[in-house]
Amino acid sequence: MTAISKLDFLGNVLLAVASILLVFALQEAGSFVWSWSSPIIFCLSQQCNEQIQPIFPMRLAKSRLYILCLLITLLGGFIYIALVIKIPERLQIIHGDSALWAGVHLLPMLGSCAFGSFLGGTISKQANLTSQTLVVGSLLQVIGLTLVFGFSSGLGLGILLGFITIYGIGVGLSFATCTMIAAVEAQNDDLAAAQGTMAQARSFGGALGLAVCTIVLNVKLQNSPGPESESSLGQQELDQIRRNLITVLSLSDESRQEVIRIYLGAFRDQSLGMLIVAVFALLVSLGTYKSKPSHVVDVMVQHKELAGRPSIRGDAELSSVSSVRSLVR
């Protein structure tokens, strides 16, 4: 039997379709491009073949720690990717940053995320403290987002960057720890699938986060100028703003101030939503405790030794082991 015949093509297609259709529906309906009453229904049939190696082995679904980390990664991606987009957006609209400087001002969060990832691997180098690290990382995310939400209306630039730096350390700790737990909990044959699913969950969570944030803002734009209000915003301007918020910078002063007022209210609601997600992730992280966890480095060594044998996933397994080992050096 050839190696290519073992690949789960149908599983890959179903995974992509499941992610794309949900996010597409949320994004398009939330932007008022299509209405919710315009559904497209796909009917798929599946033929099972026991010789195909599944894209998501059911052995992983039986691991409590892996499933919890998968959920935490999805929730973390929901917040992280949304902030990567929404923070520069706020800096341009509220603080008058150019696109370049808005990206530069995002570096404290991204740099602290990288530092948190390094720190998460270092902490578990000698002893497996992944559960404790995950709880601390989730708690730092809650603290950072609580501060952003509490001061969302009057955040100065320096204060905002400080708050998202706290969040960045927490999310870095969480992402790195979930990666290590996935490697420890997965069998050697499932290692590439386990890490790939983690990456998919993070991206999928981010897509959901962006879609939800877009919906929150567009609903605010739709509802704030009531039918009896003397709004300076026309329907054409509203349509342009829904599709590209940065067009607010080209509006008249009166219209721009009205959009900024609506935007600040939406940002507060978005921050509250992210905070709720972070609190839920913190609660989930409490369930990752294990009385006698395996030593991370020892498991990585075992994976590397087994990865040398001929396998359809051999190269991918070895690459996954190397990437995880870099976290604990």
Q: What is the pLDDT of residues 168-201, one digit of tens each?
A: 999 999 998 988 888 888 777 777 788 888 888 9
pLDDT at 48 (0 to 100): 42
Q: Which domain holds residue 280?
A: 4-325
Is residue 294 within 8 Å of 146, Cβ to Cβ? no
Contacts of residue 327, Cβ cutoff 8 Å, sequence gap at least 6: 117, 118, 120, 121, 176, 179, 180
Instruction: Dig out the tokens for 285 from the structure.
Output: 């992280």
For residue 205, give the CATH number of its domain. Answer: 1.20.1250.20
d(CA 53, CA 263): 48
The residue assigned the tokens 């952003």 is 148
Above 60 in pLDDT, residue 46?
no
Is residue 245 within 8 Å of 89, Cβ to Cβ? yes
pLDDT at 313 (0 to 100): 46
pLDDT at 299 (0 to 100): 63
Average pLDDT over the chain reads 78
Instruction: Dig out the tokens for 143 from the structure.
Output: 């603290």
Above 50 in pLDDT, residue 42?
no
pLDDT at 270 (0 to 100): 92
Nearest to 51 by CA among 7, 14, 109, 106: 7
Above 80 in pLDDT, residue 9?
no
Above 50 in pLDDT, residue 319?
no
Tens-place pLDDT, residues 21-34: 666 666 665 555 55
Tens-place pLDDT, residues 97-129: 888 998 899 999 999 999 999 998 888 777 788
Winning range, highest mean pLDDT, from 32-46, 199-213, 273-287: 273-287
Domain count, the chain: 1
d(CA 232, CA 224): 12
Instruction: Dig out the tokens for 62 from the structure.
Output: 């039986």
Above 90 in pLDDT, residue 38?
no
Nearest to 132 by CA among 119, 146, 144: 119
**Does the pTM of the predicted model rise above 0.95?**
no
Tens-place pLDDT, residues 244-280: 777 777 777 777 888 888 888 888 999 999 999 999 9
Tens-place pLDDT, residues 124-147: 777 788 889 999 999 999 999 999
Dihedral sign, CA of 114, 127, 183, 305? Answer: positive
